[in-house]
Amino acid sequence: MNKAITHPELLHCAEAVGVRMTHEYISRGDYFPSEAWGCEGQIYPSLTGIALLRLYEVTRKNIYLEGVNSLINSNVRKQKESGGWALSLGSTGNGIKFEATPEIIKLTDEVEDLPPTVTALRLLSEYQQVTGDSRYYHVLVKGFDYLKGFWNEANGAFDEMLTGEALGLRASPRDYHIYAFQCVDSLKAIFPEAKKFVKPLYRAIKSNFELMTGDTYPLLYAMHASLIMQYEGNSEYVSSDVIKKIEGELVFDSRFLIPSTPGALGHRDGLRGICLDEGHLRNSIGAALALSFYDKYIEPDKFTTTSMYLEITSWIQSMYEEGKYFEFIDFESGEKRGVGSPGQFLPIFWILGSF
């Protein structure tokens, strides 16, 4: 992995966000945003923890490690007896644009789910590898044993843990297999048995990427592209197919670009389709990740010197204020709103050149 920081000039912003999130977890045991675009869920704490761990690796400041430990302890308390984790939508904050009903909150708190399980395991695995601290090893063993039971050899992927109405909450479950890949790719350093899952899952991710279109949610689309570039480097597939998507529907010709606000991307609503009345931080960061990962792993200065990238960077930074990033701007009111978890860990990943 190339550990060079993408934006060292913005490291102070990443650190300020990291310190604030660390204090939240240490003082309150979880993150309770005052306002969030969508409801918080159990995927987010683990991704926040990985972002804080990356900050620790870059700066060697113990404050971030303290935050990671506090966050892991919170995750350990939430682990089900089975070894898995529930999604727990809305348990620490509901959304102003995507709100979970009491029934959904209850439903997603009772049943284990694949994305929160694999992200929790990835955090535990990477913490142990970075620090050498094996105090959570028993939690890892319990979780990995549970996860293995869902492997589907024929599909080359883990089966969903959710069923019925709960599974219907996820628009495209296969888009989230990327988290399972990142999990086992990390776990293989601790559990050699995990290696057998890596290649089949990577093939599943690549197949899913090929099915993505201009209507695909930009952040997930870009995450797939970024992972493929990181994994393959300057392969024939990357130099033909991936770059074609980046120069086309993924970034430069994206249907989510907002003409009146250079650098901002809209979002996709389940009912209304593509919406351009809000600029969404997570999708602009997705585009920035795809462009910067190409330059990082394939060809320096190919995209990060373009006006498109500079506009995206400028718009992302316009959403920063005193140790936090706002998640979206409502163009009708001009208000910047939402301080949910994705608006905090995603900028850290982008600035550091990771995800």
- Residue 162 pLDDT: 81
What are the tokens at 244? 């074609």
Contact (CB, 8 A) for 223 and 286: yes
Q: What are the phi and psi torsion angles at 256 (to 5°)?
A: -90, -10
- Residue 270 pLDDT: 63
What are the tokens at 330? 């409502």
Record the pTM. 0.96
Q: What are the phi and psi torsion angles at 86 (to 5°)?
A: -85, 160
Q: CA angle 49-182-6, nearest 5°?
A: 65
- Residue 2 pLDDT: 63
What whole-number distance in Å separates Cα of residue 185 and Cα of residue 198? Answer: 6
- Residue 104 pLDDT: 86
The side-by-side arrangement of strands in the sheet containing 328-330 is 278-280, 328-330, 335-337
Contact (CB, 8 A) for 122 and 169: no
What whole-number distance in Å separates Cα of residue 140 and Cα of residue 147? Answer: 10
What whole-number distance in Å separates Cα of residue 319 and Cα of residue 208? Answer: 31
- Residue 85 pLDDT: 98
Q: What is the mean pLDDT of each run of 10 residues along the chain (355 residues)?
A: 86 98 95 93 97 98 98 97 95 87 89 96 98 98 98 95 72 87 98 98 97 95 98 97 98 97 90 87 98 97 98 98 97 96 98 95
What are the tokens at 201? 């899952």
Q: CA angle 264-268-271, nearest 5°?
A: 145
